[in-house]
Amino acid sequence: MSQHFSHDVLVIGSGAAGLTLALNLPKSLRIAVISKGELANGSTYWAQGGVAAVLDDTDTVESHVADTLAAGGGLCRDEAVRFTVEHSREAIEWLIAQGVPFTRDEQPDRESGSFEFHLTREGGHSHRRIIHAADATGAAIFNTLLLQARQHPNIELLEQRVAVDLITERKLGRAGDRCLGAYVLDRNTGEVDTFQARFVVLATGGAAKVYLYTSNPDGACGDGIAMAWRAGCRVGNLEFNQFHPTCLYHPLAKSFLITEAIRGEGGLLKLPNGERFMHRFDPREELAPRDIVARAIDHEMKRLGIDCVYLDISHKPAEFIRSHFPTVHERCLDFGIDITREPIPVVPAAHYTCGGVVVDKAGQTDVPGLYAIGETSFTGLHGANRMASNSLLECIVYGRSAAQDIVQKFASTDLPSDLPSWDASQVTDSDEDVIIAHNWDELRRFMWDYVGIVRTSKRLMRAKHRVRLLLSEIDEFYSNYRVSRDLIELRNLATVAELMIRSAMQRKESRGLHYTLDYPRQLPVAFDTILVPSTAGD
């Protein structure tokens, strides 16, 4: 039997962005945080590198802003970059106050007033400004925020709950466009429950699972982007999908990321014969932005017909490697690779969705009462290419900002009522789930082949044709059978894949993460790619 739930704020997603927002709301509010699997299954937990912020006296807001704008390929929104960077220190101070165990500097320079925590440097940054907890920063942040959330009297943490769709006034045939809640599949009961709320927050992460090879966990299916699109929200810059240059290449190593910080601390990229190659692609060599490094690796792999390249930090002292990169060191040892003595085999993999749901500085979408924060959103911070470690910063800054906006609007916002239950009267149990598996596999393979690191107009046209056939099949399946997590994720992933393809086809240039052989040059003027739901059939 399905149930009805009522909360002041419904947060869909349990990563850094969602938990930050929940913890910045007053304790008097009734808050539900839902996760479609276990709470720790999101991308936050697996983030290794750290959080970029202006923390040391030798660094400046202007420098961090300039670095971000340079990495963004002329598409960053200046006001979003400045807003994020100007709030970076207070975001870190808030995390420290929550108890996040960032790595401290063993030899701080007290005379110059250096920050007491160890700061590292990553690609694209001109200063050491990455605060971290060894090489498991995401886990440290997540575990700390989760502990705080469990102690919060009015935060309800619900696992195994898969959001199916948002409930809006427009969808119910009522006057207005406000978001009223969401239909949510309870995987424990198989029933779709109704969650009504004054405010709904999408913090569902990105959509890198649309690609065959990804560093992301299985849940990164673009759920929030797809739900927001169906609810009437614009999306922006979805052609910019960041491929992390260095994922561990091993048949048993599923989606294990080799942190950017290894290159920041002197790691060298090499061909199988030990030859370095990054100097041929960029004067910054291994510290070039991720898009340049990923394309360079992709180029060398295709040129030589090799399966991977190698990341070598074995020239550093073994104790330095073990203390700075304990997670990578131990994980590689599990596969018989001792990174203190030998190089790491690596390949690029889909890592981050730079575009998303269009929002303002408070994370407010086009639909009243609906917010999007973290990787789900398009704030304008990342432009055509996200700079390393700005993503966790965005989660914290916008999570706090959205919470403040909700508080300001709370008194004037009524709790919705009389929402209809999910109608499952016309559907049956499926005996053809193999179709879901086949469609899932086909989608991820043609997205990798046709909408990957290097694109062409012909490849994009092929992808567009294939995805529309898949969407037709999926819609028919969705209309006739009971929903499951696999079906919901496939539906969302196919929706976002089509949006990515449409966005890529509109960009007649190469810029940042979007590189096409048919338009290899960058246009003199940069424009965002904004898609509007009313043009969905274009």
Q: Are 159 and 153 in contact (CB under 8 A)?
A: no
Q: Are 415 and 6 in contact (CB under 8 A)?
A: yes
Q: How far apart are CA 221 and CA 218, in angstroms?
A: 8
322 catalytically annotated? no
How many C-beta neighbours within 10 Å does residue 153 have?
A: 7
Q: How far apart are CA 339 and CA 332, in angstroms?
A: 7
- 429 burial (CB, 10 Å; 0-12 / 13-18 / 19+) is exposed
Q: How far apart are CA 364 and CA 401, in angstroms?
A: 10
Active-site residue (options: 290, 386, 459, 502): 290
Q: Are 52 and 81 in contact (CB under 8 A)?
A: no
Largest CA distance in the chain: 73
Nearest in space to 83 (alpha carbons), one of 362, 388, 407: 362
Q: How far apart are CA 317 and CA 289, in angstroms?
A: 26
CA 353 to chain centre: 5
Q: Which helix (H) or strand (E) holds 531?
A: strand 530-531
Nearest in space to 130 (alpha carbons), one of 250, 71, 50: 50
Q: How far apart are CA 499 and CA 239, in angstroms?
A: 8
Q: How far apart are CA 359 and CA 530, in angstroms?
A: 12
Say which DSSP state 30 is in: -
Q: How far apart are CA 130 and CA 470, in angstroms?
A: 42
As a whole number of Å, the end-to-end CA separation of the chain is 40
Contacts by 506-511 with C-beta closer than 8 Å and gap 24+? Answer: 506/239, 507/239, 511/73, 511/74, 511/75, 511/384
| Catalytic residue IDs | 290
